[in-house]
């Protein structure tokens, strides 16, 4: 491998890892808001949708895509270490946010800056929700990377869609249930019956996103092999 190719691959990793961490941290920071996704359809005689979920789901498709690309070109160990580093950085981010919430705001007349109530309402998430989010992220990412690698070991370079979508199907099932159970059921904020209704809905939505991402995964493979590994 020439030094030029190594250089391109090195800087590609820096970019992908940075984008991975940025999207994961951003998803956690903006998750204190519910949104409705106005998609509905009939499924075996019943209506599915519209979907109510946290706005933090928006950056997660990029995380799915980056996880698969990093695993494909840099391997399971790299994704595992990056996932641990990202979980630590998410915790660090919440520590800084927590400190910021404890420092009183200075109200300047005519200023559009946030006061304490507005700032804390946006960034103040319950501790168990934070713990649940970090646990869900770490477990799902490590599981995703492991399953992706296992499928690839069985199929070789073929069936990119299988290892990409297959790993996401399993990992996001775990993610959808862990974050809600630790963050809401254990503290008593959500009944188990409601949990068993909301969790499958969130999982179903993530699966739709994972399937829609398949063409972009092939596009990412093509671009990297053509412009980085050529």
The pLDDT, as a whole number, for residue 59 is 86
Give the separation between CA 198 and CA 93, rounded to whole angstroms: 27
pLDDT in tens, 160-181: 888 988 888 888 888 888 877 8
What residues have CB less than 8 Å from 29, skipping those under 6 apart? 56, 93, 97, 123
> What CA–CA distance (Å, rounded) separates 174 from 168?
10
pLDDT tens per residue, range 1-18: 445 556 888 889 999 999
Show the DSSP H helices in 55-126 as ranges.
60-74, 76-102, 116-123
State the fold for domain 3-227. Arp2/3 complex 21 kDa subunit ARPC3 (1.10.1760)
* pTM, full prediction: 0.84
β-bridge mates for residue 47, sequence order = 42
The stretch 185-195 carries a mean pLDDT of 78
Backbone φ and ψ for 54, nearest 5 degrees, come out as: -80, 145
- Name which of 51, 7, 16, 31 is nearest 180 in CA terms: 31
How many angstroms separate the first and last alpha carbons of the chain? 10
Give the separation between CA 181 and CA 175, rounded to whole angstroms.
10
- By C-alpha distance, which of 103, 3, 117, 20 is closest to 59? 20
- 136 and 178 Cβ atoms separated by less than 8 Å: yes
State pLDDT tens for residues 27-40.
888 877 777 778 77
Three-state SS at 172? helix
Give the residue extent of every domain in the chain.
3-227
- Rounded to whole angstroms, the Cα distance separating 76 from 167 reads 12
Q: Per residue in 53-86, pLDDT tens?
A: 777 778 888 888 899 999 999 999 999 999 999 9
């Amino acid at each position: 491998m020439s030094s030029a190719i190594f250089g391109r691959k090195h800087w590609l990793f820096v970019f992908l890892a940075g984008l991975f961490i940025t999207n994961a941290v951003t998803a956690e920071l903006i998750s204190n808001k519910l949104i409705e996704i106005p998609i509905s359809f009939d499924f075996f005689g019943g209506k599915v949708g519209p979907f109510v979920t946290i706005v933090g789901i928006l950056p997660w498709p990029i995380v799915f895509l980056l996880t698969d690309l990093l695993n494909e070109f840099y391997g399971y160990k790299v994704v595992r270490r990056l996932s641990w580093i990202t979980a630590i950085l998410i915790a660090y981010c919440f520590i800084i946010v927590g400190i910021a919430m404890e420092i009183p705001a200075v109200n300047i007349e005519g200023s559009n800056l946030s006061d304490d109530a507005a700032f804390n309402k946006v960034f103040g998430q319950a501790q168990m929700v934070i713990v649940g989010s970090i646990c869900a992220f770490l477990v799902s990412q490590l599981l995703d990377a492991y399953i992706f690698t296992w499928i690839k070991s069985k199929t070789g370079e073929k069936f990119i869609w299988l290892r990409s979508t297959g790993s996401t199907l399993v990992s996001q099932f775990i993610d959808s249930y862990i974050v809600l159970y630790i963050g809401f059921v254990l503290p008593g904020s959500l009944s188990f019956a409601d949990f068993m209704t909301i969790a499958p809905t969130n999982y179903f939505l993530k699966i739709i996103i994972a399937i829609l991402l398949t063409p972009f995964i092939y596009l990412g493979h093509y671009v990297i092999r053509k412009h980085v590994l050529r």
